[in-house]
Amino acid sequence: MLALTKKYGEKRAFVTGAAMGLGKSFCKHLARDGWTIGMSDVNTEQLEQAADEIRTLGGTPILFSLDVSDRQRYEEVADIFLERVGGIDLLVNNAGVGDGAAFHEYSLENWDWMIGINQMGVLYGCHFFVPTFMKQKFGHIINIASAAGYANAPRMSPYNMTKAAVISLSESLYYELKPLGINVSVVMPTFIRTDIMQHARGSEEAIKAGRKLLQKTKLLPDDAVKEMLVKAGKGKLEIVLPRQSRVSYWVKRHFPWLFRRTLSNLAAQQIERAEKRNKA
């Protein structure tokens, strides 16, 4: 049994991006402990399929069609969920998209799209549920960020910026809400084998490289989420995984000059490859 299950007897969770990947894995782990789960996603067909699996595992799914960048719809969904179950014990702001491109190649329309989902979607989730958490004086928020939020690798500026914002928001909320009995965790993983780049809009080269890295990783969503929930249950603010992410996080904090040199070299290599392609 999860530590969060023991702590929150009513077992009420709301998860965004719940139809697949990390979101679905969160729901599966919670379902085994009999949680009632507000499962939201833009893909209603896959959400229905995921809900069947959650019921089989012992959970009680409540389904919502939700684009997390739609503020009005998110408010409606949060109100319906809270009225139906009477409160919330766990919020998982998971929905997100991955993308990559050189800064000058990424259109402002794409920036709006990325910020709307990765940054504002998390903000909306916190905004609409935090008042209930504060009234209850208990509960837990898990925000899914990324190692990109502290690494800031080249040709990933839109994704980097939105995930850095999630880290910053999570840390701010941690200090504000902890004295009220509410915990906040922010997850900063490197690559997990998910479909996060299925809607990518950036450069063909960056998308191809990102998808290749996702397929090469051995870290699967179920294994990653298990570690996330265990560490969240221990009250951890920063959840950095796997080992590769923990090493890079440590190096940046203690040897920033080495970290910067490594990424500067990477950027130079990317520019060189781009110039060769343009000449070909």
φ/ψ (deg, to 5) at 189: -90, 160
Q: Count Cβ atoms below 10 Å from residue 53 Cβ, excluding itself.
A: 14
User: Which residue in this structure is represented by tokens 């979101």?
Assistant: 23
Say how far apart CA 60 and CA 10 lie, in whole Å. Answer: 12
Structure tokens at 186: 């922010």
Yes or no: say if 114 and 162 are a contact pair by the CB < 8 Å rule. yes
- E-only strand ranges, the chain: 12-16, 36-41, 60-65, 90-93, 139-144, 182-189, 238-241
Question: In angstroms, how far is the first alpha carbon of the chain from the final one?
Answer: 58
| Residues present in the chain in total | 280
- CA separation for the pair 144, 88 (Å, rounded): 18
Q: Which residues are catalytic?
A: 159
- Compute the distance between CA of residue 210 and CA of residue 224 in angstroms, rounded to an integer: 19
Q: How far apart are CA 134 and CA 184, in angstroms?
A: 13
Neighbour tally for 151: CB within 10 Å: 21
Question: Is the bond preceding 189 in cis, omega lying within 30 degrees of 0?
Answer: no
Please name the residue ranges forming H helices in 138-255.
148-151, 157-177, 204-216, 221-233, 243-254
